[in-house]
Amino acid sequence: MKGSEWTISDSNGMAHKLGIRGTNITVDSNTYKVKSSNWLINVIDYSVDFPGANCHIVAIGNKARLAVNGVYNDDGTPYEPVAGIPAWIWVLVALSILGGWFFGGLLCAAIGVAFSTMYVSAALNKNNKKVFISFAIFVVIALAFLALNVFVLAPATNM
Amino acid sequence: MDGNFGQDQNQYQQDNNGQGMNQYQQNANWQNNGSYQQAPNQNPNGYYNGYPNGGYPNQQMQGNNYNNYAANGYNGPVVVSNAIPQKNGGLAVGSLVCGIISILGFWSLITFILAIVGVVLGIVNNAQDNPNKGMAIAGVILNIIGFLLTIIFIAIITAL
């Protein structure tokens, strides 16, 4: 996973380096091993507190962002806690990955992982419309994989 | 964080600019594996709750992380905590997903096992008093339906 690094200043004027690489968070010279809160995709939301700066390192998939005092520093959007994502989003994530693997094979499961990161990101932005559209697109893709397996690949292997 | 624990707490107490240790001890604990126990008077989700002037949630930091900062002239503890609660009803989600897949794929014999796993996940979720109990119950019901559909499908196939 590509790492990300940020430098922030606390209320004492001290600069601090924050970074994330894979499942390792670095705070200045200290490295903290963290773990994803989801078994299927990488979902990390860790809080790092400095004087005057409450930082949240949020990683969904391989994209990491930093929120300082409730605002993301890359685009200025407000921080939404990952814990606030509704449970049905995780149902869609598991359905896309496990269901994709079950009905469409490993390649479909990999596509499901990519779509799952989209669901979670969209849910963080409270964009349910994007979640539904993404899931509908994935269902079409999974059905195409299923049809490919049943009507093309399975008869070919039986010959 | 790993391997940094077990340091002398007195160092923390001395360098804390008069902030009492009792206050830290009362509200939260850091465990050796780095996980974080939620204090009853803290934000239940553990996320940003708007500490003015850089105040901290009252927490007790074990280990030398703070001491490193104190040696550098830093006047406060660095608190790294997971903002996602440990009990998040993952078993209920697993149960529901197993139920949906076992119904959609009843024609596959694998769903026979999947339905049993889903029922177990749903029951364990509710037995452990995890959140999403309704979802777990829905998962158990869907798994039972999927299980029955699979049995009916097998019966029809063997009868033909």
Burial zone of B54 (CB within 10 Å; 0-12 exposed, 13-18 middle, 19+ buried): middle
**CB nearest A11 (choices: B47, B54, B92):** B54
pLDDT beyond 50 at B6? no
**B66 and B107 fall within a common domain:** no
Q: How many domains does chain B have?
A: 2
Distance from CA of A88 to the nearest CA of B (A): 8
Q: Does residue B81 lie in a domain region?
A: no
Q: Which residue has the higher pLDDT, B22 or A9?
A: A9
Instruction: Tell whether A7 is within 8 A of chain B (Cβ).
Output: no
- The predicted-structure confidence for B85-101, as pLDDT tens digits, reads as follows 777 788 999 999 999 99
- List the domain range (segments joined by +) for residue A106: 85-158
Asked whether the predicted pLDDT for residue B30 surpasses 80, the reply is no
Same domain, B19 and B61: yes
What's the rounded Cα separation, in Å, for the pair A62 and B102? 31
Residue A56 has what pLDDT?
93
Q: Identify the domain boundary among A63, A82, A101.
A: A82
Chain A residues with CB-CB distance to B54 below 8 A:
10-11, 49-54
How far is C-alpha A68 from the geometric centre of its chain's CA atoms?
Answer: 19
What ipTM does this complex have? 0.82
Average pLDDT of A24-32? 88
Report if pTM > 0.90: no
- One DSSP character per residue, B15-84 reads TSTT--HHHHHHH-EE-TTS-EEPPTTS-TT-S----GGG--------SSHHHHHHHTT--S--EEEESS
Paired tokens of B139: 């998962």
In this complex, is the C-beta atom of A135 within 8 Å of any C-beta atom belonging to chain B?
Answer: no
Residue B36 has pLDDT above 80, yes or no: no
